[in-house]
Amino acid sequence: MSQFQTPDLPYAYNALEPYIDEATMKIHHDKHHVAYTTNFNKALENYPKLAEKSAEEILSQLNSVPEEIRTAVKNHGGGHVHHNFFWEIMAPAGQGGKPQGELLKAIISSFNSFEKFKEEFTTAAMTVFGAGWAWLSLVDGKLIIEKTSNQDSPYSLGHQPILGIDVWEHSYYLKYQNRRAEFVENFFNVINWLKVAEKYQANK
């Protein structure tokens, strides 16, 4: 049974150029993401009851996942969910809108200004040691910036991410090598703020 699928990218592999290159997107989606999904399904193979839930739900109840598959679910389920999420919250430059309306107000009220938010989010992304993610998440209706290691998930903490950046080296190394700062700066050109706003509205 293969319950979970790797969705196609919602745009072409080269759609995020020049900020994120086609080769990186191809390997990242077709190899890394597909492997997470495959291994997530494999972990759930003998647990059909679990596989009926949404992947986010499974991650949010990680402690009730049988111990023998918990680590696999955390790593591969996390990888599956986070990559679905990551493709969604990006869009070709200029097509993702701008933070505005209620979302912008919430960002300003939590971080003082959009610029300050960007600075703090960038610092979080830069200070993930090794592999992991930086997130903008909702916790009890309040926006926070947080980091997770590997594929550990904000969902497992009861948080609702609305924006996230993958700072595993596979996410940028082909184009940027060790220049993570440049990748993070350029990521801001391809954020799909319309989608982020949608997630904010759905979870606030």
Least distance to Mn ion, CB of residue 167, Å = 9
Size of the site for Mn ion (CB under 5 A): 3
Interacting stretch for Mn ion, rule CB under 5 A, among 1-9, 89-97, 162-170, 191-199? 162-170
Cβ pair 137, 154 in contact under 8 A: yes
**Cα separation, 87 vs 10, whole angstroms:** 7
- The contact pattern for Mn ion, residues 168-187, with x = CB under 5 A and - = no contact, is x--x----------------
Least distance to Mn ion, CB of residue 41, Å = 18
Q: For residue 19, what are the contacts with CB-CB under 8 A and spacing of at least 6?
A: 93, 186, 187, 189, 190
Least distance to Mn ion, CB of residue 79, Å = 7
Taking CB under 5 A as the criterion, the residue among 132, 166, 190, 192 binding Mn ion is: 166
The answer to the question of whether 8 is labelled as a binding residue is no
**Cα separation, 203 vs 140, whole angstroms:** 9
Closest CA to 4 of 40, 29, 49, 58: 40
Least distance to Mn ion, CB of residue 82, Å = 7
**Cα separation, 17 vs 93, whole angstroms:** 8
Nearest CB to Mn ion, comparing residues 168 and 176: 168
Nearest CB to Mn ion, comparing residues 25 and 91: 25
The answer to the question of whether 166 is labelled as a binding residue is yes
The answer to the question of whether 159 is labelled as a binding residue is no
Q: Which helix H or strand E contains 204, and what residues bound it?
A: none
Tell me the CA distances in angstroms from 106 to 40, 95, 139, one per residue in order: 35, 22, 13
Phi and psi at residue 61, to the nearest 5°? -120, 40
Least distance to Mn ion, CB of residue 28, Å = 6
> Binding site membership for Mn(2+): which residues?
28, 83, 166, 170
Q: Which residues bind Mn ion (CB under 5 A)?
A: 166, 168, 171
